[in-house]
Structure 1
Amino acid sequence: MTEAQNPALEEADSHQLVSHEQHLAAVEAVLMVTEEPVTAKQLAAAVDVSEHRMVALLDQLRAEADGAAGGRQRGYELREVAGGWRYYSRARYAEQVSAFVLGDQTARLSAAALETLAVIAYRQPVARSAVAAIRGVNVDGVVRTLVQRGLLDTAGHDPVTGATLYVTTAQLLERLGLDSLADLPQLSPHLPGVEDLQEHEHPGM
C-alpha cells in the first residue's frame, strides 16, 4: 500500500482540515460579537492556537471577505485597526446601512431600548456595565443601536476602569419634546443611587 493510499494518513489529513475550518469559524464567531478591535493575541487565547497561526487565520478570513480566489466579495470586511481586528461594513454600503439604522425599519424603539434610555437619562454619564447591572441584562447591542441612531453619545471614560461613559443627546430631548433634562419626570428615586452604580462599576472598592 502506497503512502497516498494509507487510510490512516488520509484520516489525519481530514482531521487537520476540519480543525482548520473549525478554527476559522471560531474566530469569525468571536469577531462577530466584538465592539472594539481585538488583538491577535487575544483571539489566539480564545481559540487556543498560537499567535502566529492566528495571524494566518485572520489573513485568510480577510482574503475571503474580500472575494479572493474568485469568491464573492462580502458586504463587510475584516480590518486591522489600532493593533486589533474587527469586522466592519464596507464603506460603499454606508448609505444602505444608514438608511436601515435610521430609517423606518427601526423607527420605533423597543422596550429594551426605552428602558436603557431611561436609565442613562437619569444616571448619566454612566458606563454600560452599570446600566446592565440595573436592567439585569446585557445592553451592549442596545447601546450601540442607540448611539447609531443619535440618541446616545459618548462622554469620555471612567477614570478608574477606563470604561466608556454614555450620555443622552439633544436629539433625544427633541424627540421627547423637552427643553432640558430637568424637564424629565421625577423617576430618579426609583433607580439605584450613585453609590450603587459605583459598586457595579468598581467592584471591591
Structure 2
Amino acid sequence: MRDDRQEARRAVEAMVMVAEAPVAPGLMAQLIEIPIGEVEAICDELADEYRAEGRGFELVRAAGGYRYRSHPDAEGYVKRFVVSGQSARLSSAALETLAIVAYKQPLSRAQVSAIRGVNAEGAMRTLEQRGLIYEAGRDPGPGNARLFATTAAFLERLGLDSLRDLPPLVDFVPGAEVIEALETSLMADSRPTPVSDANGDGAGGGEAGGGA
C-alpha cells in the first residue's frame, strides 16, 4: 500500500512538472486511478515538504488546478534571470485596463474607456492577444457590444484559484458614491444627448430654444 502511495506522489509531481497550465486534481485522479481527495492530500503533503525543506519553488493551487512556481523569496533572482532584457512587459495602461476588467467583468471596450478616461482600444487588444482577457458574450443593448472577462491564464499568472481570491476592491478605489456616479455616467454616455424633453414641448429648455 505504501508503494502505491509513493507511486501516486511521483505521478503527481511528474504531471505538474511537465504541464504548461495548472493541472486539475480531477484529471490527475482519473489518470492515477485514485480519489480526488487523495490527490489533493498528496498535493498538500508535497507543498508542506517543499516549504519545510526551504526549496526555491513551491506547489500552489491556481485557476482550479496545481502548478509549480518560484518561491516569492527568490523573486529578486528570478527577475534578474527572466526580466533582464525582457521587452514584452505589459505597459501601465494595459495593467490598469486589466485591473478594471478583473473587477468589473464582463464589460465592453467603451465601458473600460469611460472608466479610465482614455481610449482603451489598444490596451484591450494587447490583453486579448496575450490571452489574459477574452470575449465572454455580447451586450443585449443597442449595438451588441462585445463583453470581455479575464481568462484562466490571468488567474494562473496571479497565482489565484478563482476571482473570489482577488483583494477587496474597496482597498483600491474611491467610495461607493464615486463608483455609482461612474456607472451612471456610463449609462448616460451610451444615449444621445437630448435637445428637448420626452414630450418634445421644450419645457425648461431655456437656451435650447423651441421649434420653428
Structure having greater relative contact order (Cα 8 Å, sep ≥ 6): 2
TM-score, normalization by structure 2: 0.43
Return the index of the structure with the highest Cα Rg.
2
TM-score, normalization by structure 1: 0.44
